[in-house]
Structure formats: C-alpha cells, structure tokens
C-alpha cells in the first residue's frame, strides 16, 4: 500500500498554512482501462501496458477505446446497476474503494459532514441515446419511455448515486469542467474543506464517454479520432505520427481531509494539495491558448509558493491531437524554458486514452506513487518525437529513476478554454 504514516515528520509540517487549513489525500479509489486499483494501475504504467482495445460503437462501427473492466456488483445489486448509470456505477466503485483505502471507520463517520464533488465532461448523453434507440423499436411511442430517464440524466447524477450508495447526507454535486473536470473536483473538495463546509471530501472525476456514439462521431467528423492497426499504439501524444484522441472511460475518487483531522486519526497520506488554479482562455471553442495555460500554471505555482524549478514531475494533459499537444508544449516552455533542467514530463493518456472528466484525477493518481518509489513513468508510443513538442525532460517509452520526488504538477485542460492545474507535495 502506498503512502506514509503521519507520524513521520516532514519539512512541509513547519511551513505554510496551519494544519487545519492544509488538505491531504488519505485514500484513492479508481478504475482505469489498465487497472482497477492504484497498485495495479501503477504497475501497468511502469511496465508499459496499454488499456486501449478494439471497440465498436453504434452507427460508427469499429473504432478504438479505453475500456474499464471493474466489478459492477461489488458495491451494487443488479437492480441498482440497471436503474442507475454507467457514470454513477463508476463513481460508486471508486468512492467505495477510496473510503476503504483511507482507513476511515465509515460506520462512525457523521455522513452529514461528508461532501461529494465529482468532475464530469458531460452527463446524460449515454442514457438519452440509448433510450431513444430503444424507443425507435416501438415507433417512438413515448408510453415506452423509461421512467428512470430524469434521475439518470440530471447533472448531479454521478455524485447523487454515490450519495445514495454511501448514505452521505452532506452536499453532493457534479462540476461540468470539460476535460479539466478531474482536477476541478479535487479543487472543489479542497475549497469546501477550508471553508468548513465538510470534514471529509470525496473528490475526483468520472467518465462514461465510450458508451455514447456522439462523442466518437464528433471527433471523427473533426478528423480527431485516433486510428492505428495496433490498438495499444493508437494513443501517441507528442509523436509526429499522432492522429487523434482515443476515447476512454474511467474514474478516480480521492478522500481528502484536513491535515489536523488526518493526524488525529493516525491516517496514512499520499500527499498534500499544495496549490491549484483554474482560468479560461476566452479565445476559441477547441483551440487552446498557450498563454492562458501558462498563466494557470504560474498561478498554481504562486499559490503553492514554489518555483517551477522545484517541480519534479509534470503530468501533461496532451491528448494526441496535433494542435492540442503543440499548444500545451508551448505553454510548458514558457514556464520552464527550453534548456535542460531536472523537471520530468510524462503522459498517462498514451496508456489509457482520454478519460475525459476522469482524466485529471486518474493521471494524478498514476503519478502519486512516485513519492515512494522515486520513478517517473514514461510516455509510451513516442517513436518519432514531434520537434514542435520538444521538452527537455520528456520521459519517453521507458520509466526513469528520478531519486527523491517531492512535487507533482498535474495539468488538465478542456474545450471552451477551461484550464486547471493541481500541485501535490510529498509529506
């Protein structure tokens, strides 16, 4: 099990905010296309195992996707799975796993003091598409329309299903933040803990995107849907031969607590949320603005009170699109420069595809064990690096021993110009 005991002293303990204002990660639960727990996910990242497979979707036919294979019935009955949503099921699995991992005595927890903050790219498309498809078999006679449609498609659904399953009576809601949503869920949890709105935050992101044909069709019409004879090589950020996004599903939820509370119960911790930022490009529907992305990174660094040169690992957002990857690399060079430095850069989407609302949370989780093992996982499928994506510390194809890792910066950007950055510091 990753993490260290809070009895171990740290440099961070004598600087910065008082313990009751510092927020730490004490539990992680996830499902990804290449793993259903953090140890399994991390192992496959270090061993170079992709989770992208051949996939077929309605109307579009054969394509590629990152598909999760978790036990839907571990925490739900069959009737609950049928009544609910794929996003809700993913959220329940991840939240339950995170709570178990945290060591919280859940039976003793005051559920009214727990908040649930779930980032999503979109929600309701899967259910609406499926229900209309089924209705077409009845000549669109609406008497056959599902009475579950409304609770399935309301925007708060994934967080609401978690609330019902765990008996949480504190606040629950989802945050629509496009592909920056995983980070946004974490940021919201930190803010609510500092405001005293909750004592435990279940925060992160989920995505059921592969179950809607619309997202595949839209990327296909843009010429931004990845293709490759070998599914495992289809997602290739920064590579000259990249040709688009591999759509993926997945989820990751974190248990967040104030350091004072975590210390009181003797919890282990994965790291401290040292800084964060969100901003907007306000320039284009889909084309990122490197200047505003760089501003977001700088703001997060300023709030964490650390310099760019102190960051050990940058988890990049890069999706495998020509423009998106080059724009992010330009933003990174504006912050870190073009010369050699010790900061390492990696990418998780090369292994699992783009998990949309879950991407930021999953990508952060995959890097957290570096605090313990001192290894930066690679970006795979980087056979012909694009000169426009040149980064001095980009880790390609093989993991790199990095020694002591103290800080991780997690980038997540989304359509309509939403940017998010989270910085985690080792304790």
What span, in angstroms and rounded, lies between the C-alpha atoms of 151 and 161? 9
Sorted by sequence, the CB contacts under 8 Å of residue 4 that are 6+ apart come out as 268, 269, 372, 427
What span, in angstroms and rounded, lies between the C-alpha atoms of 29 and 203? 10
pLDDT score recorded for residue 17: 80
What span, in angstroms and rounded, lies between the C-alpha atoms of 353 and 155? 24
**Residue 38 half-sphere exposure, CB side, CA atoms within 13 Å?**
27
pLDDT score recorded for residue 383: 97
pLDDT score recorded for residue 16: 65
pLDDT score recorded for residue 75: 98
* Contact assessment for residue 407 and residue 423, using Cβ atoms and an 8 Å cutoff: yes
Domain 276-425: CATH superfamily, name plus number: Thiolase/Chalcone synthase (3.40.47.10)
Question: Within its chain, how far is the Cα of 226 from the centroid?
Answer: 20
pLDDT score recorded for residue 296: 98
CATH number of 22-269: 3.40.47.10
pLDDT score recorded for residue 65: 98
Strands 4-5 and 271-280: unpaired
* Contact assessment for residue 35 and residue 106, using Cβ atoms and an 8 Å cutoff: no
Question: Within its chain, how far is the Cα of 273 from the centroid?
Answer: 15
Sorted by sequence, the CB contacts under 8 Å of residue 415 that are 6+ apart come out as 178, 179, 285, 286
Quote the DSSP letter at residue 378: P
Minimal CA–CA distance to 361: which of 378, 348, 379?
A: 348
What span, in angstroms and rounded, lies between the C-alpha atoms of 124 and 173? 15
Question: Within its chain, how far is the Cα of 249 from the centroid?
Answer: 11
Residue 37's Cβ-count burial label (10 Å; 0-12, 13-18, 19+) is: middle
Does the fold of domain 276-425 match that of domain 22-269? yes
pLDDT score recorded for residue 343: 97
pLDDT score recorded for residue 341: 76
How many Å from the N-terminal Cα to the C-terminal Cα in the chain?
Answer: 16
Which phi and psi (to 5°) does residue 259 adopt? Answer: -60, -40
Measured torsion, CA atoms of residues 241, 242, 246, 252, in degrees rounded to the nearest 10:
120
What span, in angstroms and rounded, lies between the C-alpha atoms of 420 and 378? 22
Question: Within its chain, how far is the Cα of 143 from the centroid?
Answer: 39
Domain spans in the chain, listed from the N-terminal domain onward: 22-269, 276-425
* Vertex 209: Cα angle to 205 and 212 (nearest 5): 150
Integer Rg of the chain from CA: 20
pTM of the model: 0.95
pLDDT score recorded for residue 334: 97
Average pLDDT, consecutive stretches of 10 residues, N- to C-terminus, the chain (427 residues): 36 62 98 98 98 97 98 97 96 98 98 98 93 96 94 96 98 97 98 98 98 96 97 98 98 98 97 98 96 98 97 98 97 89 95 98 98 98 97 96 96 97 97
pLDDT score recorded for residue 5: 36
* Contact assessment for residue 367 and residue 182, using Cβ atoms and an 8 Å cutoff: no
Sorted by sequence, the CB contacts under 8 Å of residue 9 that are 6+ apart come out as none
pLDDT score recorded for residue 340: 63
């Amino acid at each position: 099990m990753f993490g260290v005991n809070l009895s171990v002293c740290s440099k961070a303990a004598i600087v910065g905010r008082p313990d009751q204002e510092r927020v730490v990660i004490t539990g992680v639960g996830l499902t990804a296309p290449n793993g259903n727990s953090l140890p399994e996910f991390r192992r496959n990242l270090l061993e170079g195992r992709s989770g992208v497979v051949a996939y077929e979707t309605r109307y579009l036919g054969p394509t590629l996707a990152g598909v999760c294979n978790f036990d839907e019935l571990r925490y739900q009955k069959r009737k609950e799975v049928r009544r609910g949503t794929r996003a809700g099921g993913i959220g329940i699995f991840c939240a339950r796993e995170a709570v178990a991992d945290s060591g919280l005595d859940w039976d003793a927890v005051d559920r009214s003091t727990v908040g649930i903050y779930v980032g999503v790219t979109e929600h309701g498309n899967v259910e609406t598409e499926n229900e209309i498809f089924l209705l077409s078999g009845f000549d669109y006679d609406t008497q056959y329309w599902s009475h579950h449609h409304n609770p399935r498609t309301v925007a708060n659904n994934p967080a609401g299903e978690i609330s019902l399953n765990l008996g949480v009576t504190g606040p629950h809601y989802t945050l629509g933040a496009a592909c920056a949503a995983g980070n946004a869920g974490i940021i919201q949890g930190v803010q609510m803990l500092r405001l005293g709105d909750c004592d435990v935050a279940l925060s992160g992101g989920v995505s059921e995107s592969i179950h809607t044909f619309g997202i595949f069709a839209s990327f296909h019409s843009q010429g931004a849907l990845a293709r490759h004879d070998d599914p495992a090589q289809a997602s290739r950020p920064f590579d000259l031969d990249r040709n688009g996004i591999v759509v993926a599903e997945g989820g990751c939820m974190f248990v967040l607590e104030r350091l004072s509370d975590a210390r009181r119960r003797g919890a282990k911790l994965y790291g401290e949320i040292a800084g964060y930022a969100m901003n907007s490009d306000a320039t284009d529907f889909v084309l990122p603005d490197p200047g505003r992305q760089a501003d977001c990174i700088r703001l997060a660094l300023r709030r964490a009170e650390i310099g760019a040169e102190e960051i050990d690992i940058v988890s990049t957002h890069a999706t495998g699109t020509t423009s998106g990857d080059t724009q992010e690399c330009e933003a990174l060079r504006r912050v870190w420069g073009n010369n050699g430095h010790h900061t390492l850069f990696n990418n998780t989407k090369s292994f699992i595809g783009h998990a949309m609302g879950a991407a930021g949370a999953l990508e952060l989780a995959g890097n957290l064990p570096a605090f313990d093992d001192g290894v930066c996982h690679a970006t795979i499928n980087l056979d012909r690096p694009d000169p426009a994506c040149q980064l001095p510390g980009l880790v390609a194809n093989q993991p790199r021993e990095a020694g002591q890792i103290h800080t991780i910066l997690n980038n997540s950007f989304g359509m309509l110009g939403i940017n998010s950055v989270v910085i985690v510091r080792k304790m």
